[in-house]
């Protein structure tokens, strides 16, 4: 969606948008956008001050980094941007993070929501997605999915005193 900021009235204006992966020009390699992304925006105009509030809901199919199985996860991302027109030092649309409020530099008076939505989706994807927090992963010896199967390589029950050490060792080897 492209919003003409010059014709914006004082106060708040709301917008709704629906986009699919193609519309968002999302790469479909490590994840898949399921159904369509739903976005809700509120633009606040007070004189020369412009604030852009974004809320995006979507569902992704990701691949678990431990067991390598695909799984689905829902996201609701919120962001607040302060819009600056024509003062960008790079000549291109860029967002700089300052704690919770983001600065959005626009080269023109037109706000294109597509790159913002695309960035929102890409940044929300965890570095190491997990199908569930306690995913047991694959057996390093025979490769079975330990969530679904047991093999003969299960770790033996260990003394509680050693469990802590093993945990540390595991963390180190994950590196």
Nearest to Zn ion of 39, 135 (CB atom): 135
Q: Are the C-beta atoms of 56 and 118 separated by less than 8 Å? A: no
According to DSSP, the residues that pair with 138 across neighbouring strands are 145
Determine if 62 is a binding residue for Zn ion (CB under 5 A). Answer: no
Determine if 61 is a binding residue for Zn ion (CB under 5 A). Answer: no
Determine if 142 is a binding residue for Zn ion (CB under 5 A). Answer: yes
For Zn ion, the binding residue among 122, 125, 151, 168 (CB under 5 A) is 151
Nearest to Zn ion of 31, 81 (CB atom): 31
Determine if 50 is a binding residue for Zn ion (CB under 5 A). Answer: no
Structure tokens at 76: 């609701």
Determine if 139 is a binding residue for Zn ion (CB under 5 A). Answer: yes
Structure tokens at 136: 């047991």
Nearest to Zn ion of 36, 73 (CB atom): 73
Least Cβ distance, residue 70 to Zn ion (angstroms): 10
Determine if 37 is a binding residue for Zn ion (CB under 5 A). Answer: no
For Zn ion, the binding residue among 21, 43, 83, 135 (CB under 5 A) is 135
> What is the spatial distance between Cα 25 and Cα 21, in angstroms, rounded to a whole number?
6
Enumerate residues 6+ apart whose C-beta is below 8 A from 104.
52, 81, 82, 83, 84, 93, 95, 116
> What is the spatial distance between Cα 79 and Cα 113, in angstroms, rounded to a whole number?
13
> What is the spatial distance between Cα 15 and Cα 1, in angstroms, rounded to a whole number?
9
Structure tokens at 33: 């956008």
Determine if 72 is a binding residue for Zn ion (CB under 5 A). Answer: no
Determine if 146 is a binding residue for Zn ion (CB under 5 A). Answer: no
Binding site for Zn ion (CB under 5 A): 64, 66-67, 131, 135, 139, 141-142, 151, 153
């Amino acid at each position: 969606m492209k919003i003409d900021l010059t014709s914006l009235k004082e106060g708040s204006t709301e917008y709704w948008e629906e986009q699919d992966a193609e519309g968002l020009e999302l790469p479909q390699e490590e994840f898949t956008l399921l159904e369509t992304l739903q976005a809700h925006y509120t633009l606040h105009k007070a004189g020369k001050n412009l604030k852009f509030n974004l809320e995006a809901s979507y569902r992704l199919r990701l691949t678990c980094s431990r067991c390598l199985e695909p799984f689905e996860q829902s996201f609701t991302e919120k962001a607040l941007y302060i819009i600056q027109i024509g003062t960008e030092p790079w000549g291109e649309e860029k967002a700089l993070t300052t704690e919770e409020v983001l600065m959005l530099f626009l080269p023109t008076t037109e706000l294109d929501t597509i790159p913002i939505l695309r960035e929102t989706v890409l940044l929300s994807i965890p570095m190491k997605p997990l199908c569930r927090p306690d995913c047991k992963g694959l057996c390093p010896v025979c490769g079975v999915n330990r969530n679904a199967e047991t093999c003969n390589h299960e770790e033996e029950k260990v003394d509680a005193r050693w469990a802590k050490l093993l945990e540390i060792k595991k963390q180190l080897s994950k590196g």
